[in-house]
Amino acid sequence: MTYKNFTIETDADGIALITWDMPDKSMNVFTEEVMNEIDAIVDQVVADAAVKGVVFTSGKSTFSGGADLTMIRSMFSLLQEEQAKNPDTAMQKLFDVAGRMNWLWRKIETCGKPWVSAINGVCMGGAFELSLACHGRVASNAKSVKLALPEVKVGIFPGAGGTQRVARLANTQDALQMMTTGQTLTPQRAKAMNLVHQVVEPDQLIPAAKQMIKDGLKPVAPWDEKGFKVPGGGIWTPAAAQLWPAAPAILRRETAGNYPGALAILKCVYEGLQVPFDTGLKIEQRYFTQVLRSTEAFSMIRSLFISMQELGKGARRPAGVEKKKLEKIGVVGAGFMGASIAYVSAAAGIAVSLIDRDDEAAAKGKAVSEKLVADSVAKGRMSKEDGEKLLSLITPTADYSTLSDVSLVVEAVFEDRQVKKDVIEKVEAVLPETAIFASNTSTLPITGLAKNSKRPKQFIGVHFFSPVEKMMLTEVIVGEETGDEALAVALDYVSQIKKTPIVVNDTRGFYVNRCVFRYINEAYDMLIEGVPATMIENAAKMAGMPVGPLSLNDEVAVDLSQKIMKASIADLGEASVKPEHMALVNKLVDDLDRRGRKNGKGFYEYPAKPAKKFLWPGLKDLYSQKHASEVDVNVLKQRLLVTIALEAARTVEEGIVTDPREADVGSILGFGFAPYTGGTLSYIDGMGVKTFVALCEKLAAQYGDHFKPTPLLLDMAAKGETFYTRFNPYGAEQKAA
């Protein structure tokens, strides 16, 4: 029998090598077709008396990343359709669909013939769960091999037997830690946890897997044998009596109770370890179905799995423009930002001409890459040879003529219109006619900067976030005259350096910074009202933000806030900035020299390491302080999230952001907007626009007009619309997932 996605070769020893190699796909993923073929393959090898055992591996450089977008989408589509048609049967149908992979893996596990998973690359999610259902697991020791059950990061949890098998193979504490954080394991760590049996050289992977079968591997899982005991003794032991009361508290400390999938893992393990294995699988299936129905799972999967992949694959790339692979670019400005842009470009195999005012300044820029490479080599993340190759691609220089053969120039000089004007003129004097000029400005409108260009159609904004090597988001800003060619090349470049792009139209602060400064400004309001700074920061974290607004302001620099406020007043008038905010920032910067982390003092104090930063005690003396009992933490949480979401809605109303996927993904990747919400617009859609409008009106009545709902929101509330229905990114013919 032949299969589209698999080949089967049986050797003289009766060992069937099943190779998963999907045509026209760079990575193997689970689809309905793949699942059906695996089901048929199990039946085939069981029926064939000549087959003594099975080795399951991948024909690609990676094993598998897990489920396909369409498979995840189909689950939500099924739920929506069934609930509309027959709410009584919707739950049962979702339960059955959610359990398909679970029971298929169990079929492999109990088929009566030994299966060995030969893991040759990234093995994530359902693929790792399939491997755990095999009777033997061998992993290559190549650095590209990574094993994980990362589902919690997209709002769900390992629902194909993962919670039951991991908890029966590894000790409970390690199992919970791995699954509730989505932790990625090296092959060596997986072996230490008893999740992998052998780690071998890449060329020994298949021979070692076959040898396990030849050596008499039993086709029975440990938990199916009489007398099996859970590592550590299970739930009712003195060690478990210490672990389990603490586990929910630790999880709440880390997640503030915002992630149903993470809590479900604890429930699945705790309940599942007290019952037979098959009953444990049903418990897992029940919780998986329950979590799939949650707003958090729907929103997180849509934004962090589906939308992120769609944007990364060029969902906003103009049609009809040929894809371009960049060989050489220029980066002008070798300060920390420009130097980091040069690093990520070289890491993607692009030659970089790194330019600054003189050779010494340019060389300092390259030194940033040299340090990053040295750190990576020291930590074993990069070989010495790869590091040398990367550095050889960066040429520091003061000579603009080295830009005569580049496809793209990224300008990353000081945030000053005149400085940028001078650079634009120098670059365009030598730039090839077909090349694109991209400004990395974070606040200055692109249309205004493009007035200094002779070729505004080839002028675009590409806004990176610091630290560039870690931050996955890039804002691509389209000016009034930016052409499709410039947009396409910018998106090709962002894709090549493995960042996720969002495309936004031109405005002051673009999208991310507008939202960020609303978050910071709300904290200013709270401070001025007398809310203790500790409560502000803790409320933000409880709301799901990675850092509090005062800490974030220190990171971006308090004096930068001052500059932005002054620029707003100069361009837009006194009413554009609250005088109380200006007074607070002026006092911190001008009177107290508290500029943020960069000078060791801002809203926080930054003592010498290893001591940790702490809130500056003098904050409480700036304004009359309220007692904690006078402050409602839930209201603080609402204010911080609502003010950001409202700003996101304004950018949509103004036509700055035109695709809700970009608002959501940009808010999470750009500044960590409460990921469990799915992003700023999903936060609004999740509670319902009508409910959000009512909440805005309530907050506006007590805390100011900046909480007033916009005309767009009022109209959407009246019509019962959501952002994903009104601004459907998939077109009128297809409903958003």
Write out the catalytic residue numbers.
463
Contact 663, 657 (CB under 8 A): yes
Beta-carbon neighbour count of residue 417 at 10 Å? 14
Query: In this structure, what token pair is assigned to residue 152?
Result: 């919690």
From the list 98, 99, 79, the residue with the least C-alpha distance to 90 is 79
Contact 146, 186 (CB under 8 A): yes
| Secondary structure E strands in 612-702 | 614-615
Question: How, if at all, do strands 408-411 and 394-397 pair?
Answer: unpaired
The rounded distance, in Å, linking the Cα atoms of 694 and 714 is: 10
Continuous segment of H or E residues that includes residue 291: helix 277-292
Cβ density class 622-652: b for 16+ within 10 Å, e for less: beebeeeeebeeeebbbbbbbbbbbbbbbbb
The rounded distance, in Å, linking the Cα atoms of 350 and 347 is: 7
The amino acid sitting at 524 is Y
Is 204 in a helix, a strand, or coil? Answer: helix
Pick left, alpha or beta for residue 164 (phi over 0 → left; psi -120 to 50 → alpha; otherwise beta).
alpha
From the list 193, 196, 185, 221, the residue with the least C-alpha distance to 131 is 196
Contact 490, 460 (CB under 8 A): yes
Q: How far is CA 663 from the centre of its chain?
A: 14
Cβ density class 661-687: b for 16+ within 10 Å, e for less: bbbbbbbbbbbebbbbbbbbbbbbbbe
The rounded distance, in Å, linking the Cα atoms of 97 and 78 is: 9
Contact 178, 169 (CB under 8 A): no
Please spell the DSSP secondary structure of 502-553, one letter per residue: EEEE--TTTTHHHHHHHHHHHHHHHHHHT--HHHHHHHHHHTT-SS-HHHHH
Continuous segment of H or E residues that includes residue 232: none
Please spell the DSSP secondary structure of 586-623, one letter per residue: HIIIIIT---BGGGTBSSEE-PSTTSPPEE-TTHHHHS
Beta-carbon neighbour count of residue 256 at 10 Å? 18
The rounded distance, in Å, linking the Cα atoms of 617 and 458 is: 50
